[in-house]
Chain A
């Protein structure tokens, strides 16, 4: 069975540009979450979506947005990129049926470098 898949795996952007990252969850999982991991730190929560509805949002500026599609895949968009947005962006999927975050399974990540 396929795990969580993310694309692209690596990308380089310049300040001010925007970026779209994509994620496909494990088959049968209805919830997708996004996390940002900067070098040397633990991942930080950005968004969670369940059944196409936003279920949670972390402490990130409005330049960050996301959506979930009817097939449960998801996109993370970041506008007006800053140097500080350089990070590994991790997508995780879960069944979404528990009251909490549930057991999360992560993809390999998209490594974004902003120059």
Chain B
């Protein structure tokens, strides 16, 4: 089973709202990732967690705040977003992450976020 689940599937929020995206995997993977994908563009890496510690932050604005409560769960907390943050947010997981192995990332279906 290579399933990564993401909730919600769609989210509409105002610029003053606080919301969270959730990602879950039960494959025993120790690395989890957040990507952002704008319309008609390729996915872009935002954050990497490896063994529950933030290992990569691709200079993402602080209005995006990741959290990894345990090895199966990854959250992305959103606050004071801008309309240009509207995008598909993708979560992925892999067995080892950045620990020296080239391991395969498996993606969830994404959350379609619209900021009004």
Bound pair: A and B?
A: no
Q: Which residues of B contact A (CB under 8 A)?
A: none
